[in-house]
Amino acid sequence: MRLRPLGDQALIRRLVICAAVASGPAAFVACGGGSNEPEEKPIPTVLTPELLASTWAVRMVDAATRAPFEANPGWAELVIRRDYPAALSAFSSGNVEKGLGRVHMELAAAYRQATLINAAATENVFGRDRRDEDPAFTHCLRAVAEAITAKPDVSQASYEACKGEGFRAVEDGDLAAEAKAWAWSEATGEDLSGINGHLAALKASSGTAAFFGDSTDTPWNEIVGTMPGFDVLPHFSGPDRLNEGTVEGVHAGSLAALAEAHRQAALSAWPDGAAQISAALEIWRLPLEDSTFSIPDVWDDALVFGSSVLAGPDYAYLAELSRTDDAKLTTENARTNSPLAAALAPCLKSEAESSPTVDVECVVDAAAGVHAQVRAEMVARAGEPEDYHRAFYDLARVSVLRAAADLAAANGEELTMGRLRILALERSTGPAADPVPLLQLAAWDAGNRNVVRAQEPLHGQVGHLPGVEAARYPLDSLHVRLSRESGPAVPVH
Amino acid sequence: MGRRRHLLIAGGLTAAALSTGGSLTYYDETLPTTLNPLYASSMVDFRSQELIFDRLWFNSSINNELESRVVDSWEMADGGRAIRLTLKSSIKWHDGKPFTSKDICFTVQAMLDPGTPSPIAEGYRDILAGCKTEGNSVAKVTFKKVFHNPRQRLGFAVLPRHAFRNNTRISPDLEFSARPIGTGAMKGSRGTRGVVFSAVENPHHRAKIPQLQMQEGNDPLLQVRAIMNNAVQGIIAVSPPYRAEISARDELALKSYDLRSWWFIALNTAKAPLNNAKVRQALDYILDRNELREKSIGVKPGERNSPCEFISGPFVQSSPYYNRQVPTKDRSDMAKASALLTEAGLKKTGGTWSSRGAAVNFRLGMLKSMNTEAPDLLEYVGNQFGAAGFGRQSFKISTDEWNREMLTGKAKNYDMLIGKWSFGQVEDVNDLFNTRKTGKGTRNIFNYSRADVDKLLDNYDRAKTDTAAKDAYHKLHAYLADDLPYLFLWKLDTKSAWRTEVKSNTISPYFYFTEFDSWKYDG
């Protein structure tokens, strides 16, 4: 392979871009032309032939299997461009219920991560980094955030502080009611499946009433095919206690409500897929939510194609990981059916009597191995390399890295989890730039007060996910606070 | 042998027998101008210094935890106005001398010494009051006031007292700037063609890579060829047009580097006709940023997830200080530009703009190293002004000249300068726009001076609350977008490339090599 000169920049980028601009029935075979395959190397065996054959990327080489996904341009918009509005529009036009279900499911996951960004930043800026000048209503913002991150006791204390510091019942009544509803949600037995109770409170606020309407019966069907946002942002504002400026806020529950709206829309759009959607969403549940899913018997390709899993059983493996106390056992149990578990099982290593830990270098090698295996198998089945292959096998590699991060999290290795999420981020280019895991890393960073890295992926979604900028308010406040408390710095070139 | 030939061919540099077993070679944008941490003026300087020195505290690149390699324990003292640091034992300087509390206090006193003309030290003078040793392993650092997170403010690199013979007046041009002595993972020595870093064993550092060779990257294509041929193993800043190619290669990995960089064209507001705001506004309308970005960086209009995003003021769009009410100008608007130029008294004859009877010519310069990231940007900008009816002469400016003339406000012969500024979490732009006076405006390229701007910058400095600080910068943004001491261009993400044989190579935000100890090379 030779690099083309600068004058051929367009050609150099073509492989990545051409898939992104293609749409319609030929979306995945639109990029004809020269091969850009790297030199051949020995292909490691990470997956057994059976598991390799079960991956969506390999199966999609078959034209008949791929055909349903070429029948509507929504799939290309979703999988290649990660353009949710365009995908929804295309699926709505074609009345593709599985496509609508899939997009709303992903949106639910994305808004849940935005919820967590808001919550984590709020807890930091108005909790750990609270300053005397912060107005009383920020305690209420904090109460909601703490409820969502499953800290009911501190949430209730924050609510009491909100009231105790001269909270203005008339002007700020909506926020008080909402904060109270969230703070006591666990005590009243309302998990997020009971979010309708919260939504009833949320409806009273100016920001959320617009899309939930006046009825307590949430009109989920009306949301299918749409992306509701907020008419006005921010929802709350008030002078700081020194009267030097105005503090603006949106509580995390508003974003949780958007997430819930999309979850309900996904179930409404594709009723037969409800069990699968619920199980697939399990890995993205909020800390507040209980784990209630059951593993479905079958996984429809509509949930797997172009996703962050290699095959349907991976969803079950990741969902089990999210609630297990024994990551190694869960991985061992899943490795016969789940390609991701099979790839990662050898990377849980232990020395002598110590507990097993995730070996990052082993994971990187496993991801590269899966990448190479999927690529080779796709070429073997197609007879020759085709340009759409790259988008698929690149996604396979990132899937292994992302799942390894989940495995590390389940194994209690937060630093390793972070390292793996960053490695996954670095491989998340082109079609692999799935907004959900990018926002997930941003949420973790917001919790770690790493505001610069958290802001970029969030900023990248503003304009694509209506209302997601609601996560920006506390993150911006946290950034300003932290930067003013850092050592001096001068601009450099 | 083959590897050296590649170096000669691809980089045009001598291999100079620098690649021994297990050693790594990488390209940076240019050579560092100084290895003295008090005088870093570029990101290359910071990156190089990060290998050589230990900062008192730093943030983990993974979970952002505040960590120190040299401080064993700490406690607050004097009611929060001081911090008592107990140092780790057995740490040695690269020349074998013991690292003690005297070095901490020497560094603090050097920064507080008004005879040390360092903009970085200037910042610490607002924070630190002094330092006293309590034996060899304890230093008590005193602040000017009580701070919420005092350790977060102590991110300075520690200097060796003995290397300066206890003279706290530190000048930028000492031999130390080329051959420094630190306690960091690597000992560094700057030559005319590169910097050689060699691992130094120390209780607090155990670099796994024995030698690191930094070379100046020039042509981006040659850089990419060199890394593909394994003639070098890393590139710090990959030119955007080549990123897709690199990410498509199994043996290469594109790495994220969190750095907030924005690009600009500084205008000489002291020189006619650029001293007229209408002329500056007209130039802002003449620029077709979409075309510039497409031609020099390879970004198509409307491209999703572009590494390059237009800005309308001195912050990146994701920053809380960015005023999102101020729109960007993406396309040129020649009608508006012509109207403004006419209002400003310029006349267009035969396609050429003249002022007071003389054709308007611009001397346009660009920091040479930027050509790697945005090839031919200088020519494209010149062509756009030329097509609009202005004469121009273009100059590529070396880093040395940039530091010597542009940063010090001596670039009076130029009308426009294309440059970029980089930031970490702190996005303080006061030094760029404040009127030059003692300790202020230290990076004010054309000595721009406006009382209104100085007042806004002062408001930012004195703000008691975060919201007041943010408001001050939002107003500054709006003011500068209208008055235009700069034509604001874009932010550009920085991406590195490393061969996959280089493992565990976590890249720290801004400083890059903070966690170099964990890097491994299986080559």
Nearest CA in chain B to A4: B221
Q: Which of B242, B305, B443 sits opposite A433 (nearest CB)?
A: B305
Q: What is the pLDDT of residue A189?
A: 53
> In whole angstroms, what is the distance from residue B290 CA to residue A327 CA?
50
Q: Which residues 6+ apart lie within 8 Å of B67 measured at CB?
A: B57, B58, B59, B60
Pairing of strands B234-235, B24-28: parallel
Question: Which helix (H) or strand (E) is B295 found in, with range?
Answer: helix B289-297
Q: Which of A419, A486, A492 sits opposite B40 (nearest CB)?
A: A492
> In whole angstroms, what is the distance from residue A194 CA to residue A476 CA?
31
- Name which of B486, B335, B342 is nearest B418 in CA terms: B486
With an 8 Å Cβ cutoff, are A426 and B254 in contact? yes
- Name which of A141, A152, A139 is nearest A186 in CA terms: A152
Q: Averaged over A55-76, what is the pLDDT?
A: 96
Q: What is the pLDDT of residue A219?
A: 57
Q: What is the pLDDT of residue A257?
A: 85
Three state DSSP letters for B156-218 = CECCCHHHHCCCCCCCCCCHHHCCCCCCCCEEEEECCCEEEEEECCECCECCCCCEEEEEECC
Q: Which residues 6+ apart lie within 8 Å of A248 measured at CB?
A: A234, A236, A237, A473
Q: Which residues 6+ apart lie within 8 Å of B332 measured at CB?
A: B285, B286, B287, B288, B291, B384
Report the mean per-residue pLDDT for chain A.
85
From chain A, the residues in CB contact with B123 under 8 A are 487-490
With an 8 Å Cβ cutoff, are B467 and A246 in contact? yes
Please state whether the peptide bond connecting residue B273 to the residue before it is cis, i.e. omega within 30 degrees of 0.
Answer: yes
Q: What is the pLDDT of residue B285?
A: 98
* A-B contacts at Cβ under 8 angstroms: 210
Three state DSSP letters for B395-446 = EEECHHHHHHHHCCCCCCCCCEEEEEEEECCCCCCHHHHCCCECCECCCCCC
More confident residue, A291 or B256: B256
- Given pLDDT bands bounded at 50, 70 and 90, which one contains residue A130? very high
Q: Is A233 in CB contact (< 8 Å) with chain B? A: no
Q: What is the pLDDT of residue B98?
A: 98
CA end-to-end distance (rounded Å), chain B: 15
With an 8 Å Cβ cutoff, are B127 and A13 in contact? no
Q: What is the pLDDT of residue A40?
A: 63
Q: Which of A6, A9, A489 sits opposite B426 (nearest CB)?
A: A489
Q: What is the pLDDT of residue A29?
A: 36
> Is the pLDDT at A176 greater than 80, yes or no?
no
Give φ, ψ of B97 to 5 degrees: -75, 150
What are the structure tokens assigned to B480, written together?
């500068």
Domain B1-53+184-233+501-523 and domain B54-169 have a common topology? no
B326-360 b/e (C-beta count within 10 Å ≥ 16 → b) = beebeebbeeebbebbeebebeeeeeebbbeeeeb
With an 8 Å Cβ cutoff, are B320 and A456 in contact? no
Please, which residues bridge with residue A177 across strands? none
> In whole angstroms, what is the distance from residue B48 CA to residue B502 CA?
18
Residues of A numbered 131-150 whose beta carbons fall under 8 angstroms of chain B's beta carbons: which are they? 131, 133
Q: What is the pLDDT of residue A233?
A: 86
pLDDT per residue as tens digits for the range A131-140: 999 998 999 9
With an 8 Å Cβ cutoff, are A16 and B248 in contact? yes
Q: What is the pLDDT of residue B21?
A: 47
Please, which residues bridge with residue B420 across strands? B263
Q: What is the pLDDT of residue A254?
A: 87
> Is the pLDDT at A13 greater than 70, yes or no?
no
Please, which residues bridge with residue B252 across strands? B499
> Is the pLDDT at A23 greater than 60, yes or no?
no
Q: Which residues 6+ apart lie within 8 Å of A398 measured at CB?
A: A308, A367, A424, A427, A428, A432, A434
Where is average pLDDT lowest: A69-73, B6-10, B109-113? B6-10
More confident residue, A172 or A343: A343
**Domain residue limits, chain B:** 1-53+184-233+501-523, 54-169, 260-494
What are the structure tokens assigned to B198, written together?
């060699």
Residue in the structure block whose two tokens are 């999703």: B304
With an 8 Å Cβ cutoff, are B152 and A129 in contact? no
Q: Averaged over A365-393, what is the pLDDT?
A: 96
Rounded to a whole number of angstroms, the distance from the CA of B514 to the nearest CA of chain A is: 15
Residue in the structure block whose two tokens are 């035969």: B350
Residues of A numbered 291-350 whose beta carbons fall under 8 angstroms of chain B's beta carbons: which are they? none
> In whole angstroms, what is the distance from residue B26 CA to residue B233 CA?
6
Q: What is the pLDDT of residue B22?
A: 79
- Name which of B263, B328, B316 is nearest B427 in CA terms: B316
Q: Averaged over B220-242, what is the pLDDT?
A: 95
Three state DSSP letters for chain A = CCCCCHHHHHHHHHHHHHHHHCCCCCHHHCCCCCCCCCCCCCCCCCCCHHHHHHCHHHHCCCHHHHHHHHCCCHHHHHHCCCCHHHHHHHHHHHCCHHHHHHHHHHHHHHHHHHHHHHHHHHHHHHHHCCCCCCCCHHHHHHHHHHHHCCCHHHHHHHHHHHHHCCCCCCCCHHHHHHHHHHHCCCCCCCCHHHHHHHHHHHHCCHHHHHHHCCCCCCCHHHHCCCCCCCCCCCCEEEECCCCCCEEEECCHHHHHHHHHHHHHHHHHHCHHHHHHHHHHHHHHCCCCCCCCCCCCCCCCHHHHCCCCCCCHHHHHHHHHHCCCCCHHHHHHHHCCCCHHHHHHHHHEECCCCCCCEECHHHHHHHHHHHHHHHHHHHHHHHCCCCCHHHHHHHHHHHHHHHHHHHHHHHCCCHHHHHHHHHHHHHCCCHHHCCHHHHHHHHHHHHHCCCHHHHHHHHHHHCCCCCCHHHHHHHHHHHHHHHHHCCCCCCCEC
Q: What is the pLDDT of residue A32?
A: 33
Single-letter amino acid, residue B241: P
Rounded to a whole number of angstroms, the distance from the CA of A149 to the nearest CA of chain B is: 19
With an 8 Å Cβ cutoff, are A493 and B65 in contact? no
More confident residue, B303 or A15: B303
> In whole angstroms, what is the distance from residue B389 CA to residue B382 CA?
11
Q: Averaged over A104-133, what is the pLDDT?
A: 97
With an 8 Å Cβ cutoff, are A16 and B119 in contact? no
Q: Could you tell me what percent of chain B has a pLDDT over 90?
A: 89
Q: Is A419 in CB contact (< 8 Å) with chain B? A: yes
Fold of domain B1-53+184-233+501-523: D-Maltodextrin-Binding Protein; domain 2 (3.40.190)
Pairing of strands B58-59, B186-190: unpaired
Nearest CA in chain A to B498: A426
CA angle B257, B260, B266 (to 5 degrees): 135
Reading phi first (left if > 0) and then psi (alpha if -120 to 50, else beta), residue B263 is in beta
With an 8 Å Cβ cutoff, are A448 and B156 in contact? no
| Burial tier of A169 (Cβ tally within 10 Å: 0-12, 13-18, 19+) | exposed
Where is average pLDDT lowest: A16-20, A281-285, B416-420? A16-20
> In whole angstroms, what is the distance from residue A62 CA to residue A173 CA?
59
pLDDT per residue as tens digits for the range B287-334: 999 999 999 999 987 787 788 999 999 999 999 999 999 999 999 999
Q: Averaged over B141-155, what is the pLDDT?
A: 95
pTM of the model as a whole: 0.91
> In whole angstroms, what is the distance from residue B369 CA to residue B376 CA?
11
What are the structure tokens assigned to A210, written together?
């617009």
Q: What is the pLDDT of residue A203?
A: 47
Q: What is the pLDDT of residue A393?
A: 96
- Given pLDDT bands bounded at 50, 70 and 90, which one contains residue B491? very high
pLDDT per residue as tens digits for the range B361-420: 999 999 999 998 998 999 999 999 999 999 999 999 999 999 999 999 999 999 999 999
Q: What is the pLDDT of residue A168?
A: 56
Report the mean per-residue pLDDT for chain B.
93
Q: Which residues 6+ apart lie within 8 Å of B359 measured at CB?
A: B352, B353, B391
Rounded to a whole number of angstroms, the distance from the CA of B398 to the nearest CA of chain A is: 12
> Is the pLDDT at A210 greater than 50, yes or no?
no
> In whole angstroms, what is the distance from residue B219 CA to residue B11 CA?
8
Contact present, B277 and B484 (Cβ < 8 Å) = yes
Q: Averaged over A27-51, what is the pLDDT?
A: 65
Q: What is the pLDDT of residue A458?
A: 96
Q: Could you tell me what percent of chain B has a pLDDT over 70?
A: 96
Contact present, B431 and B444 (Cβ < 8 Å) = yes
Residues of A numbered 156-175 whose beta carbons fall under 8 angstroms of chain B's beta carbons: which are they? none
Q: What is the pLDDT of residue A172?
A: 53
pLDDT per residue as tens digits for the range A431-478: 999 999 999 999 999 999 999 999 999 999 998 999 999 999 999 999
Residue B138, SS3? strand
> In whole angstroms, what is the distance from residue B17 CA to residue B38 CA?
31
Residue B270, SS3? coil
Count other C-beta atoms under 10 Å from residue A388's C-beta.
Answer: 26
What are the structure tokens assigned to B197, written together?
């870093």
- Given pLDDT bands bounded at 50, 70 and 90, which one contains residue B179? very high
- Given pLDDT bands bounded at 50, 70 and 90, which one contains residue A166? low
> In whole angstroms, what is the distance from residue A19 CA to residue A24 CA?
11
From chain A, the residues in CB contact with B243 under 8 A are 429
Q: What is the pLDDT of residue B355?
A: 95
Q: Please state which architecture CATH assigns to domain B54-169.
A: Alpha-Beta Complex (3.90)
- Given pLDDT bands bounded at 50, 70 and 90, which one contains residue A22? very low
Q: Averaged over A235-246, what is the pLDDT?
A: 87
> In whole angstroms, what is the distance from residue A137 CA to residue A185 CA?
19
More confident residue, B333 or A232: B333
Q: What is the pLDDT of residue A297?
A: 87
> Is the pLDDT at B213 greater than 60, yes or no?
yes
> Is the pLDDT at A2 greater than 50, yes or no?
no
Q: Please state which architecture CATH assigns to domain B260-494.
A: Roll (3.10)
- What is the torsion angle, in degrees rounded to the nearest 10, for the CA atoms of residue B95, residue B101, residue B104 and residue B110? -90
Q: What is the pLDDT of residue B174?
A: 82
> Is the pLDDT at B116 greater than 90, yes or no?
yes
pLDDT per residue as tens digits for the range B63-112: 999 999 999 999 999 999 999 999 999 999 999 999 999 999 999 999 99
